[in-house]
Structure 1
Amino acid sequence: MVKGKKKSNEPSGRKITLKMAKNALKVTVDGKRRLDLSNMAIATFPKCILKLCDVEELDLSRNLLKKIPDTIDKFVNLRSLDLHSNHLEQVPATIGRLHNLYSLNLCNNHLTTSGLPHELGLLRNLRILNLGMNRIETLPPPVAALKELQELGLFNNLLTHLPKCIQNLPKLQRLNFKANPILPDESPEVDRIQRVECLYLVREDCLCTDCLKRCKEEREKLDSRMSAASTLKKSIFAGLITPNSVAQENQAIWR
């Protein structure tokens, strides 16, 4: 190291150039421009992509991002923003200016309740909001203003009760609040909502130690259920030729 030169405090990570970002541009089947910078070991939000702020979809998932800058509001046409599996502790208030946002995925970060801005309530066109696998204890009251919200993920958080604002979301159809330290409130307002589980495919080296351990335990449980189901099936149909039975059984389990 050169004498007198200060060590940089910037997090290490891959640097994205404008040329790389342009090469990552894609067009979806429905004609939307999508900028896919997922799983590229990015630790700092690439300022160069502000020159591509007319995209409708932005995917920065499975990176090392700790912060999203206030300039995220430059993406005025954005309909889908995917930031899952990063190290975010806070969401900038300027996200509330993305009035065209349809889907926001913040799953698997380090977000707490204080890291969620009240400006989330300004996303009046939002249909899908995923806050699963964070450290959230409750939701900010302005979430009740998301009258178009249809899907909400709150699984694997620190909720001790189901947020009351959920009952004020008239179009909410799918809700996942599994693996929180609460007993679900079996009220009619909750019963009308379909409870779902989400599946994400990631590499093992993208998971923390606790998450990896939990995934392996779930995998072992699934393998055990499949083995038991297969044994039961064989005992029932012993001696019969049923070439499609195993395929149908596996399909039912994976559904």
Structure 2
Amino acid sequence: MVKGKKKSSEASGRKITLKMAKNALKVTTDGKRRLDLSNMEIATFPKCILKLCDVEELDLSRNLLKKIPDTIDRFVNLRLLDLHSNHLEALPIALSRLYNLCSLNLCNNHLTTLPHELGFLRNLRFLNLGMNCIETLPPSVSALKELRELGLFNNFLTDLPKCVQNLPKLTKVNVKSNPIPSDEPAEVDHIQRVESLYLVREDCLCSDCLRKCREDREKLERRMSAASTLKKAMFAGLIAPNSVAQENQAVWR
């Protein structure tokens, strides 16, 4: 009986109190109030943080969340929402009522689809959807006229969605590790394809992703080591500037 209770307690995740949440409040360098509850083993959205819904930034990344409640729309001042590295399978329509949102990070979840209402986030500038199970984007994404950067890496996209090809301010899009043909459509020549870096704990990655990360790190280390050796060889025979100056001064005298 006791073992059953212990298992149930572990499944529910860590309980966050209002006092804990208040202690997690921070002020950013640009004066924004940030509630940082990242990496705290939270499995259920803490209802107590609704009393702190006037914050401008909310970080719930690297937790165990499977669902975001409709009450998320009470965070009317929210400019940044970070939900990366959770277990989210769907997004609530209420998320689209965060009209002041500028940055939304949903990387490393289990999302397969996105709500059509996502297009209501007209002030969104940064959207990260990487490392999910997304096959297509809703056409309403074309309404995100302020979007600058879009992460779509490690999904199941077979082409670059048409809804992003004519976004006027989009300058960076990452579509790496999707089953997209290598020939890039001419319509997106103005968009810079980039690779982004996101820090996650090793235990948040599946075995395949972890192996790939380790292989990439080993390649990078070998490349840096080779560059360091080449640099030493290039400058090995140079005379110090001071010694050259001294010789020239002797000649002038």
TM-score, reference length from structure 1: 0.87
What's the CA shift for 1:184? Answer: 4.9
What's the CA shift for 1:186? Answer: 3.0
Residue 165 of structure 1 aligns with which residue? 163
Pair 1:155 & 2:160 matched:
no
Residue 251 of structure 2 aligns with which residue? none
Residue 35 of structure 2 aligns with which residue? 35
Q: Is 2:85–2:200's contact at 8 Å kept on the other side of the alignment?
A: no
What's the CA shift for 1:59? Answer: 0.2
Q: Is 1:34–1:57's contact at 8 Å kept on the other side of the alignment?
A: yes
Residue 134 of structure 1 aligns with which residue? 132
Q: Secondary structure at the match of 2:154?
A: coil
Distance 1:39 1:163, change over 3 A: same
Deviations 1:160-212 (A, max 9, x none): 11101111311111111111111255344311112221112233233332222
Pair 1:90 & 2:85 matched:
no
What's the CA shift for 1:12? Answer: 3.1
Deviations 1:51-91 (A, max 9, x none): 11111100000111111111111111111000001111111
Residue 253 of structure 1 aligns with which residue? none
Residue 67 of structure 2 aligns with which residue? 67
Counterpart of 2:35, as a letter, is: L
Match of 1:203 among 201, 204, 208: 201
For 2:10 and 2:142, the matched residues in 1 are separated by 37
For 2:194 and 2:239, the matched residues in 1 are separated by 36
For 1:91 and 1:209, the matched residues in 2 are separated by 26
Residue 252 of structure 1 aligns with which residue? none
What's the CA shift for 1:214? Answer: 1.6
181-190 or 120-129: which moved more? 181-190
Deviations 1:4-35 (A, max 9, x none): 99x85983311100000011011111111110
Aligned positions of 1:182-197 closer than 5 A: 182-184=180-182, 186-197=184-195
Counterpart of 1:57, as a letter, is: E
Give the unaligned 5+ runs of structure 1. 243-255
Deviations 1:104-141 (A, max 9, x none): 0000111112xx11110110111111001111111111
Q: Is 1:162–1:185's contact at 8 Å kept on the other side of the alignment?
A: no
Residue 212 of structure 2 aligns with which residue? 214
Counterpart of 1:178, as a letter, is: K
State which structure, 1 or 2, has the greater radius of gyration over its C-alpha atoms: 2
Task: State, as a whole percentage, how many aligned pairs show the same letter.
Answer: 82
160-169 or 202-211: which moved more? 202-211
Residue 245 of structure 1 aligns with which residue? none
Deviations 1:219-249 (A, max 9, x none): 011011112222322333333479xxxxxxx
For 2:93 and 2:111, the matched residues in 1 are separated by 14
Distance 1:213 1:241, change over 3 A: farther
For 1:195 and 1:47, the matched residues in 2 are separated by 39
Residue 248 of structure 1 aligns with which residue? none
Q: Is 1:11–1:44's contact at 8 Å kept on the other side of the alignment?
A: no
For 1:22 and 1:208, the matched residues in 2 are separated by 33
Distance 1:123 1:193, change over 3 A: same
Q: Secondary structure at the match of 2:95?
A: helix
For 1:184 and 1:75, the matched residues in 2 are separated by 41
Q: Secondary structure at the match of 2:104?
A: strand
Distance 1:98 1:241, change over 3 A: farther
Counterpart of 1:146, as a letter, is: L
Q: How many residues align?
A: 238
What's the CA shift for 1:159? Answer: 0.8
Give the unaligned 5+ runs of structure 2. 241-253
